[in-house]
Structure 1
Amino acid sequence: MALLITHATLVTWEDPNHIIGDGALLLDNGIIQEIGSSSELAARYPHAEELDAQGQYAMPGGVCAHTHFYGAYARGLAIPGPAPKNFPEILRRLWWPLDKSLDAEAVRLSALVCLIDAIKHGTTTLIDHHASPNCINGSLDIIADAVDEAGLRAVLCYEVTDRDGPEKAQAGIEENVRFLRAAHDHPLVSATFGLHASLTLSDSTLEACAQAADGLDTGFHIHVAEHEADQEDSQRKTGERVVHRLARLGILGPKTIVAHAVHVDASERAVLKDTGTWVSHQPRSNMNNGVGAAAIDIMAAEGIKLALGNDGFSNNMWAEWKAAYLLQKVAGRDPRLAPGDMIARMATQANARLAEVFFPGQTLGQLVPGAAA
């Protein structure tokens, strides 16, 4: 049965955005069928189930461009011993022991916790990056089933890495390939190909990933230059900076997301722009890990496609908006950086365009007739 939402203040997040007072939305079969005034639509559809918004805002659900559902377990978790002094120590002492501890039930529960948190904060599409080295095969199905149960939309991948040996790296490749083919069984779930980061991947493994992805119409989802260690490792191994290395190996492109890009230089930014690669910005995580601040004002001015994620922090994307607005100002000591309209466009219009990459043929993130509800 159709649902008619009346007496709402509609925020359409079109470009340009429109705000419609005393507006109404007719929803049916998961699609926005019509938008108009409350009086007009109530008269036209007297038999529709009606929900009176009583003047509250109605807007598209939020999109998170990069997260880790299993990060739910890190909230409030103390790391034994002295505090880690840098991000590589945080990886070794927190994240890598945590992901090794995950079994199938832990994977399922972490996804459900994060999805409930997303519902509470109005975030309805999430691009997840998963790792569970002792529970690889079928792990993405477990998460997809949780997404189905929650009724949200998600893009899933498995993090391929060499840090646990060649057999598990190959298992990660196979899980990505398997799920890229199986994701169509879940109407609200899509897939991409996950990679950890340049510093835990050899050329041979990256070549194997690119070869495995060939013909699957996919890009990749990878952490890039989150900390200087990623650049130092790449230059030590190959003599190249990270983005140049990934470009050489066929990892970049318009369906690829690089998370963070905090420590990229001008030549790498040029490659990101030329390849149409997406960059996701996670300011709360960057502050928490003490890794620095990505040059998002420069990237935006250069035409790089920017999106906003949370890196496993809470799915309150409004908090990520605020952090993105404030971080650049203190990092650059310039109150003109990261103006509010830039952050709003990144979080709404850009995030929606990124989500549409994975759900082709659908209109997301807008209150317009024909868009997904």
Structure 2
Amino acid sequence: MIIKNGKIITWEKENRILDGQAILIQGDMIKKIAPVEDLLREYPGEELVDAKGQYVMPGNICAHTHFYGAYARGMAIPGAAPKDFTEILQKLWFRLDQALDEDSVRASAYVCILDAIKHGTTTLIDHHASPNFIDGSLDVIADVVDETGIRAALCYEVTDRGGEGRMKAGVEENMRFIRKVQSSRPGDGRLSALFGLHAGLTLSEETLDACRRANNVGAGFHIHAAEDAADEYDSLTKSGLRTIDRLQKHGILGRNSIVAHAVHVDIKEIDILAETGTWVTHQPRSNMNNAVGMAQVEGMLRSGVRLGLGNDGMSNDMWEEWKATYFVHKLWHRDSRRMPASLIEQMAVYNNAELATDLFNVGKIGKIEPGAQADLIFVDYHPYTPLTTGNLPWHIVFGFHSSMITTTMVAGKFLMQNRQLIWIDEEKIAREALGFAPDVWKRFVTISQETLEA
């Protein structure tokens, strides 16, 4: 197709905003950018799509999320409210994931991916857990990814908290799925796989070694680290090392691996993350919700850490994550000069694009240029002040809203057009997810009561 009459935000490293240009898409890739008359003359048989003056830009990328967290929305937690991060894990997440079965895993993937499409997020890096449905759980999610047309990287979080049997099942699920993706590349390159680990505080020395030995095919790891100070103290108790030092000792870090949060790392740990080229993801809305503090984002970027932006299972509206990042660091440091929007642009656009490009190996992702994947969104934004490449990040923070996204495309296929979902029946998905929710919540309450009695 040829997309005409759009103002093109390229998100190239030297970003450009192009007016009077059109985009030629062939297959899943951007083929050419040129005046529409030139493209029509050279490619007369192509479908013509009118962007109607909207901004056409690469889709947003989420570097860390949890589809399975969908069923936490509106759910009451029995007993007193959790007082700290450890209790949040124990009272909420370690019970919710046990309440999930095949149907609810599938439904949670559907609703989160639907949410992403509507909010212009075209690539998701998920971190899954369902201790009572491990074997084949990643296939269930992958089927939803394939059906909906989104781009996603999947893994299963290995943990010791369910015993040795479940730990080994998690290892096997990761390796089975990694080999499957590496051998077949289903979904036309829209699917990728990592080796998931929960966090150091639920992993023994023996399990970390076992995971490193099992992962013999070069896949990166995806793990939470130093989200709360409890992770650091647990690591010191178990190994005498801080969290990042411990992960380095066990061979978990590296250029293909992702560490989520890194809120409570020290200067040496930041150096290790930078030296090993490990990806770190920042999730400010989650950090605020869990009251764990804020990562040293500016310091990590200055130190050369490859730092991206995720949402940790909050809504897949990544511009909301931009806004949270911009405001919370000013409040956290009590300094309005902190966290300029240009740094958020570096994380959310350029770093996330580099991470996605590395993971999916299908050409560049997150840019509009020849040879890049055609993952695009149309944004119906009408600025009343000048919009330039220099001030675009501030327009996003103060002006852009997800309600302005009218069209979402992944790999050259429309998933939403003119605010109408193409492949997904939203009402049906919501109805089915709602049908499973009462049983999930009932199991959650039962697990909570059994835990309290024990």
Please give the residue correspondences for 1:1-373 in structure 2 after superposition, counting only pairs within 5 Å.
Answer: 3-183=1-181, 184-186=184-186, 187=188, 188-214=190-216, 216-373=217-374
Whether the 8 Å contact between 1:129 and 1:221 is mirrored in structure 2 is yes
- 3-state SS in 2 of match to 1:124: strand
Amino acid at match of 2:314: F
Whether the 8 Å CA contact 1:4–1:50 is kept in 2: the answer is yes
How many Å apart are 1:4 and its aligned residue? Answer: 1.0
Shift of 1:319: 0.4
What amino acid maps onto 2:10 in structure 1?
T
Asked if the contact 1:6–1:42 (Cα under 8 Å) also holds between the matched residues in 2, the reply is: no
Contact kept in structure 2, 1:126 and 1:155, CA below 8 Å = yes
How far is the alpha carbon of 1:360 from its aligned partner?
A: 2.2
Tell me which amino acid in the other structure corresponds to 1:151: G
Measure how far apart 1:361 and its partner are. Answer: 4.7
Give the letter aligned to residue 191 of structure 1. A
Q: CA deviation at 1:207?
A: 0.2
| Cα distance in 2 for residues equivalent to 1:82 and 1:202 | 30
- Unpaired segments of 5 or more residues in structure 1? none
> Secondary structure, in 3 states, of the residue corresponding to 2:210?
helix
One-letter code aligned to 1:357:
D
Q: Identify the residue that residue 445 of structure 2 maps to in structure 1.
A: none
Asked whether the 8 Å contact 2:362–2:373 carries over to 1, the reply is no
Superposition misfits of 4+ residues, deviation over 4 angstroms: none
Counterpart of 2:302, as a letter, is A
Structure with bigger RCO (C-alpha 8 Å, 6+ apart): 2
User: What letter corresponds to residue 359 of structure 1 in structure 2?
Assistant: F
**Residue type at the aligned position of 2:172:** E
The letter for the 2-side match of 1:209 is: C
Unaligned runs of 5+ in 2: 375-454
- CA positional deviation for 1:232: 0.9
What is the DSSP-based 3-state SS (H/G/I as helix, E as strand, rest coil) of the residue aligned with 2:20? strand
1-structure distance, mates of 2:39, 2:18: 14
- Give the count of matched residue pairs: 370
C-alpha distance in 2 between matches for 1:79 and 1:308: 28
Query: Helix, strand or coil for the counterpart of 1:98?
Result: helix
User: TM-score normalised to the size of structure 2?
Assistant: 0.80
Distance in 1 (CA, whole Å) between partners of 2:58 and 2:234 is 41
Does the 8 Å CA contact 1:118/1:315 hold for their aligned counterparts?
yes
CA distance in 2 between counterparts of 1:163 and 1:303 reads 34
Q: Is the 8 A contact 1:67 1:311 kept in 2?
A: yes
Structure 1 counterpart of 2:323, one-letter code: K
Q: Aligned partners of 1:37 and 1:230: how far apart in 2? A: 55
State the secondary structure of the residue aligned to 2:21.
strand
- More off after superposition, 178-187 vs 248-257: 178-187
Distance in 2 between residues matched to 1:362 and 1:136, nearest whole Å: 32
> Aligned equivalents of 2:242 and 2:110: distance in 1?
38
Give the secondary-structure state (helix, strand or coil) at the position aligned to 2:123: strand
Superposition RMSD in Å:
1.0
Counting aligned pairs with the same residue, the percent is 56
| 1:28 Cα deviation from its structure 2 partner | 1.3
By how many angstroms is 1:185 displaced?
4.0
- 2:197 is paired with a residue whose SS is strand
Q: What TM-score do you get using the length of structure 1 for normalisation? A: 0.97
Amino acid at match of 2:331: V
Shift of 1:235: 0.7
Contact 2:6 2:21 in 1 (8 A): yes
- My pick for the range that moved more, 162-171 or 46-55, is 46-55
C-alpha distance in 2 between matches for 1:221 and 1:112: 22
Query: How far has the Cα of 1:44 moved from its partner?
Result: 3.4
